[in-house]
Amino acid sequence: MAYRIVANQLRTTRILNVKTESPTVKTFTFKDKVCTRAKPGQFLMFWIPGVDEIPLSILDANGDGAVSVAVKKVGEATQALYNKKVGEIVGLRGPFGNSFTLKRGRILMVGGGTGIAPLLFLTKKLASKATKLVSVVGAKTKKELLFIDKLEEICSEGNLVATTEDGSYGIKCLATALLESLLAKERFDAIYTCGPEQMMLKAFVLAEKHGITLEASLERLMRCAIGLCGSCVVGKYRVCRDGPVFTASQLREVRSEFGISKRDFYGKKIPLE
Ligand SMILES: Cc1cc2nc3c(=O)[nH]c(=O)nc-3n(C[C@H](O)[C@H](O)[C@H](O)COP(=O)(O)OP(=O)(O)OC[C@H]3O[C@@H](n4cnc5c(N)ncnc54)[C@H](O)[C@@H]3O)c2cc1C
Ligand code: FES
């Protein structure tokens, strides 16, 4: 409880490092003691002074308090953060939400877009536990593929598979098409997925078909991040507090909304793009 209260307190920090990952994505590193215990799947509410506060997944957090997030510029707040330089001040609350459970055995990761950020953090934690660790990462084009070099360092040879829709890198197909062919050939014990919801829905359907455990990290509109405002509701769950990571059995319970709808800023149900 005390940890939750501390986590929800707004802290300010200076940006220590900025790295360009793609034409639209940058990684920001800063120090924050509260995040030392952060786990893969958890997220921060990131305050860009004078602009807005937005949820961002934790890309990495280690014992010395260094934390990083990856941000894709899509609108006002993410663009403002994207433009920030080393030394500038930002604010944060968190870490919030649950985390992926660290399973053993033969593990399959499926990620797309900035969804690869929490999966990279998870991959680092699972590397010593898994008997086999295969990562499938997808993007529209080579330029948009994220963290390939870092995943290559962790996954042993042949176990990182990149897909692009235009064939500019890796295999020309959707990440889920590759997932389908992998599952037809090989047995896995668990699937972890994060990325566009249609991709995660397809991964869920395939996991159900093959009887494999799955965990997926959902994105919904977040404001309070502590379960009070209801912006992030999916069925009986609040994504900020009960998630963002959901098991296949929880996803079955919210099947009428998963991959189908979300809430807008007024709480109205609207179709997912
Ligand atoms: C748990 C979680 C983890 C996330 N992790 C990352 C990450 O690691 N990297 C990253 O680049 N993005 C991440 N996002 C998405 C990111 O929060 C949105 O892209 C950002 O809030 C957009 O703000 P904006 O002002 O730039 O764009 P806007 O123009 O305001 O919005 C663009 C779109 O972003 C979404 N969005 C806007 N505000 C919010 C909000 N308060 N909460 C959730 N979604 C919102 C809506 O779908 C909206 O249509 C995450 C979202 C969630 C819920
Ligand atoms: S963001 Fe307020 S209840 Fe989840």
pLDDT, one tens digit per residue, over 213-247 is 999 999 999 999 999 999 999 999 999 999 999 99
What's the whole-number mean pLDDT along residues 16-36?
96
Neighbours of 172 (CB within 10 A): 12
DSSP string, 79-106: HHHHT--TT-EEEEEEEES-------EE
What's the whole-number mean pLDDT along residues 178-189?
94
Does the Cβ of 216 fall within 6 Å of ligand 1?
Answer: no
CA nearest ligand 1 atom 28, residue = 75
Does the Cβ of 250 fall within 6 Å of ligand 1?
Answer: no
What's the whole-number mean pLDDT along residues 103-122?
95
What's the whole-number mean pLDDT along residues 10-20?
97
Indicate whether 52 pLDDT > 80.
Answer: yes
Question: Residue 4's pLDDT is what?
Answer: 72
What's the whole-number mean pLDDT along residues 66-90?
97
What's the whole-number mean pLDDT along residues 71-78?
97
Higher pLDDT, 267 or 4: 267
Q: Which ligand approaches the C-alpha of residue 45 most closely?
A: 1
Question: Residue 129's pLDDT is what?
Answer: 87
Indicate whether 1 pLDDT > 70.
Answer: no
Note the maximum CA span of the chain: 52
Question: Residue 63's pLDDT is what?
Answer: 83
Indicate whether 177 pLDDT > 90.
Answer: yes
Nearest to 234 by CA among 209, 208, 260: 260
Q: Express as a percent the part of the chain with pLDDT over 70.
A: 99
Question: Residue 158's pLDDT is what?
Answer: 78
Nearest to 241 by CA among 99, 35, 91: 99
Query: Is residue 46 a contact partner of residue 69, using CB atoms and an 8 Å limit?
Result: yes
Calculate the alpha carbon distances from 76 to 2, 20, 43, 265 in Å.
34, 19, 20, 15
Q: What is the pTM of this model?
A: 0.96
Indicate whether 102 pLDDT > 70.
Answer: yes
Q: Which of 240, 262, 263, 264 to mutate to test ligand 2, by most ligand atoms within 8 A of the CB atom?
A: 240
Q: Which of 78, 120, 238 to mutate to test ligand 1, by most ligand atoms within 8 A of the CB atom?
A: 78
Indicate whether 3 pLDDT > 80.
Answer: no
Indicate whether 157 pLDDT > 80.
Answer: no
Indicate whether 2 pLDDT > 80.
Answer: no
Q: For residue 66, what are the contacts with CB-CB under 8 A and spacing of at least 6?
A: 16, 29, 30, 31, 60
* DSSP tag of 156: P
What's the whole-number mean pLDDT along residues 151-159?
85
What's the whole-number mean pLDDT along residues 201-209?
97
What's the whole-number mean pLDDT along residues 98-122?
95
